[in-house]
């Protein structure tokens, strides 16, 4: 019997590059090779998901790396079926590493006769045998309460604080953090406090669902380098409109830090033609060729943070220590060298 159970990673097809990057970072931290567990995740001709794990996982501490991004249903089923395969193979513990938690926007009943799908997905994850969830920037933090298992919700704001202090050095006194709506104020305030910047809000009012009728800027953004902060950018319509409104109100530049780059439909084209100088997203969702080719979209890695969070979960140390950008500084030193 081994004296210590090592953490083992396995990945679905949703974001293999991120899974491989996490494995490489864990190998660096551990000083030994941490590879992805050999498995095949395939489809039958009718679209059914089939999983076969080639390695012995009996008694192992398993981590499944699988965001539930587009196609959300396929990637969610892969996650559940991998978990079932591991549970039936006598894995000691199964942790789902879900960098992007799909269906999170359906976290409440906004109208009569609508579902709370985020809760349904949480039930499915628990029923599949997953014992812990590790995710990043849940759309609503109360989703953690939908689970009857521990949930560690990491934050992108410490990474973005490092990025902002690196890329806006010399003009930090001009930076103003902007929330694109009233509901996102807490997220924007968090980054503003980390980089000691003032906070502004774009108040949007909708004429009808999916259509923004009016936007008003709360706060003086004249001659400021505005940084819009949010968790999800989907079609980018509201984001690009907010950037225009900020420029009309006298902003010097507009940038955006958005955690999850869903970027569906016309989003990339809108961003490329917008007044924003840059849109910074993370790699939680596998970037398409059009996203990679867009001149004003930049992707920052989450693998260093996820790798450390997985190791902290495995060895029983604090995951909340990664909420502090000063703790993440050494982990991201190769990207944001100490000034």
So which residues are the catalytic ones? 204
| Rg, the chain, Cα only | 21
Query: Are the C-beta atoms of residues 7 and 63 closer than 8 Å to each other?
Result: yes
Query: Residue 192: which of 170, 219, 155, 160 has the closest Cα?
Result: 160
Exposure class string for 193-213: b at 16+ Cβ within 10 A, else e: ebbebebbbbebeeeeeeebe
Write the CB contacts of 183 (distance below 8 Å, at least 6 apart in sequence): none
- Distance, in Å, from the CA atom of 189 to the CA atom of 3, rounded to the nearest integer, reads 46
Classified as helix, coil or strand, 143 is: helix
Query: Are the C-beta atoms of residues 116 and 106 closer than 8 Å to each other?
Result: yes
Query: Residue 138: which of 105, 186, 173 has the closest Cα?
Result: 105
Classified as helix, coil or strand, 200 is: strand
Burial class (CB in 10 A: 0-12, 13-18, 19+), 146: buried
Query: Residue 285: which of 21, 24, 13, 70 has the closest Cα?
Result: 70
Q: Strands 151-154 and 39-43: what pairing?
A: unpaired
Query: Are the C-beta atoms of residues 23 and 34 closer than 8 Å to each other?
Result: yes
Classified as helix, coil or strand, 129 is: coil
Query: Are the C-beta atoms of residues 161 and 141 closer than 8 Å to each other?
Result: no
């Amino acid at each position: 019997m081994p004296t210590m159970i090592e953490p083992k990673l396995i990945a679905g097809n949703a974001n293999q590059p991120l899974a491989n990057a996490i494995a490489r970072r864990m190998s660096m931290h551990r000083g030994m090779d941490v590879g992805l567990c050999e498995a095949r995740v395939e489809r039958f001709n009718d679209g059914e998901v089939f999983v076969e794990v080639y390695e012995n996982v009996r008694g192992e501490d398993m981590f499944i790396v699988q965001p539930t991004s587009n196609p959300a249903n396929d990637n969610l089923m892969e996650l559940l079926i991998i978990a079932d395969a591991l549970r039936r193979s006598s894995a000691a513990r199964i942790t789902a590493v879900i960098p992007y938690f799909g269906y999170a926007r359906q976290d409440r009943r906004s109208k009569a006769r609508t579902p709370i799908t985020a809760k349904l997905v949480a039930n499915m994850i628990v029923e599949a045998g997953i014992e812990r969830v590790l995710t990043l920037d849940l759309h609503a933090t109360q989703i953690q309460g939908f689970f009857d298992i521990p949930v560690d919700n990491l934050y992108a704001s410490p990474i973005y604080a490092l990025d902002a202090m690196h890329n806006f050095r010399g003009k930090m006194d001009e930076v103003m953090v902007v929330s694109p709506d009233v509901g996102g104020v807490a997220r924007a305030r968090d980054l503003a406090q980390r980089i000691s910047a003032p906070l502004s809000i774009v108040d949007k009012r909708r004429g009808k669902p999916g259509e923004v009728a009016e936007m008003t800027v709360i706060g003086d953004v004249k001659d400021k380098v505005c940084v819009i902060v949010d968790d999800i950018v989907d079609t980018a319509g509201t984001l690009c409109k907010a950037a225009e409104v900020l420029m009309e109100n006298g902003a010097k530049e507009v940038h955006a830090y958005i955690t999850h780059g869903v970027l569906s439909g016309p989003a990339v084209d809108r961003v490329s033609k917008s007044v924003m100088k840059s849109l910074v997203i993370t790699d939680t969702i596998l970037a398409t060729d059009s996203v990679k080719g867009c001149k004003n979209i930049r992707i920052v890695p989450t693998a260093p943070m996820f790798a450390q969070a997985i190791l902290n979960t495995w060895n029983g140390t604090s995951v909340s220590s990664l909420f502090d950008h000063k703790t993440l500084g050494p982990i991201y030193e190769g990207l944001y060298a100490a000034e």
